Amino acid sequence: MAKYKSKYVCQECGYESPKWMGKCPGCTKWNTMVEELEERAKPGETARRNISAETSRLAPITTIVGEDEPRLTTNISELNRVLGGGVVPGSLVLVGGDPGIGKSTLLLQASQELASNNNKILYISGEESAKQIKLRAERLGAASPNLYVLAETDLFLLEQQISHLMPAVVILDSIQTVFHPDVTSAPGSVAQVRECTAHLMRLAKTKDIAILIVGHVTKQGAIAGPRLLEHMVDSVLYFEGERHNTYRILRAVKNRFGSTNEIGIFEMGEDGLKEVTNPSEMFLSERSLGVAGSTVVASMEGTRPVLVELQALVTPTGFATPRRMATGVDHNRIAMIMAVLEKRVGLLLQNQDAYVNVAGGVRLDEPAIDLAVAVSLASSFRDKQTHPYDVVIGEVGLTGEVRGVSRIEQRVKEAQKLGFKRVIIPAKNVTGWEHPKGLEVVGVQTVSEALREALGG
């Protein structure tokens, strides 16, 4: 059997040390040394394992026969969307999120839906007993004879139970509670998490079992453990939202079998998580009409267009340095747009505090929201209300031009579906597609032109 030896590796420069040090001698950074596991094989024994069930052989890619294996779909369409159409057999999926956000609830509901389709599902918990899981399952209505429950943390015992049952899907809650008996580190350490995940990856590939593992997150919002953990798995899903807010967002940041940045919207209730089939309507349900600083933008989240409200508040500052605060959008992008408004449009914003917020708790990362942010800031600064049935789309350049965006037809159709009367888009995107009836499409080339259309002067 292979022997394991611990070593400490700097996560910044890769310096290795047999013991932990607070300061790395290689790059002089503090608190970057983390424990890693080094596997050494005995003479005559190989430490490398093949993740394929068969011995790998050289073969031209044209001679390899592909298998079109169907996905395991649930009745939760939002979860299927984020996964790219369903759970892929033999895949390893990592689900992360803040404590109490609803990770276990979602996976237990998904277990019930998969078990109802005559699939054997094994739910493994290292944080709850079998009786506690039973109480939560009764509250969620997740009771099926095909749903098996196991409360265990020993990795070797888990593998024995999985090999005996041979389920279609295994759900492990959570990876930080499982320990490898041959690793001397405590459960949840870097070495334990990485070695357990590698073991589960080999198990999923060799036995063609889909494994979903729950990962805790740090204070910064990243999944706890080495960054390599996200590279090892096939898909990484983040469960976002505030605990005092009923809405939750499931976001795919990595997916080898589907689109990245795809989102699913859920609402937390007494009976668990419920799907939100029309997120645009949900995000705009509490919007105030005819107020300064409010603009609606159509953003693409994966393959889905979503209409959200951008809010801006510009007010005179009482400090030497004005404040620039943003929630749901990139702070640096806001500073750039304000510089464009001051230089190209003539708005005196250097003595103004600016606050930008995306209503509903969603985060927008694409540049197509730039023009809507500019309109919101100018509307609040001039204290002139925007048209309540306008949607603004476009990217803003440093010279004040409005650049084209992708998938404009899908964005405009979503605006028409929700009853908006006019869309302000880049002039480059006006031609080349059929405009929906009953919706006015206005093309603009500069930020100044967009402000004249949106604010009437």
* 103 annotated ligand-binding residue: yes
* 104 annotated ligand-binding residue: yes
Percent helix, strand, coil in the chain (nearest 5)? 30, 30, 45
Tokens linked to 446: 């500069």
Concatenated DSSP letters for 352-419?
A: EEEEEEETTS----SGGGHHHHHHHHHHHHHT-PPPTTEEE--EE-TTSBEE--S-HHHHHHHHHHTT
* 424 annotated ligand-binding residue: no
* 443 annotated ligand-binding residue: no
174 cis-preceded (ω within 30 degrees of 0): yes
* 101 annotated ligand-binding residue: yes
| Euclidean distance between CA atoms 19 and 364, whole angstroms | 43
Tokens linked to 226: 């080495």
Burial class (CB in 10 A: 0-12, 13-18, 19+), 36: buried
* 258 annotated ligand-binding residue: no
| Euclidean distance between CA atoms 396 and 404, whole angstroms | 9
Identify each DSSP E strand in 302-346 by its residue range: 304-316, 324-327
Torsions phi, psi for 369 (to 5 deg):
-90, 0
Closest CA to 362 of 284, 273, 420: 284
Gyration radius (Cα) of the chain, Å: 26
* 221 annotated ligand-binding residue: no
* 100 annotated ligand-binding residue: yes
Which positions make up the binding site for ATP? 97-104
Which positions make up the binding site? 97-104
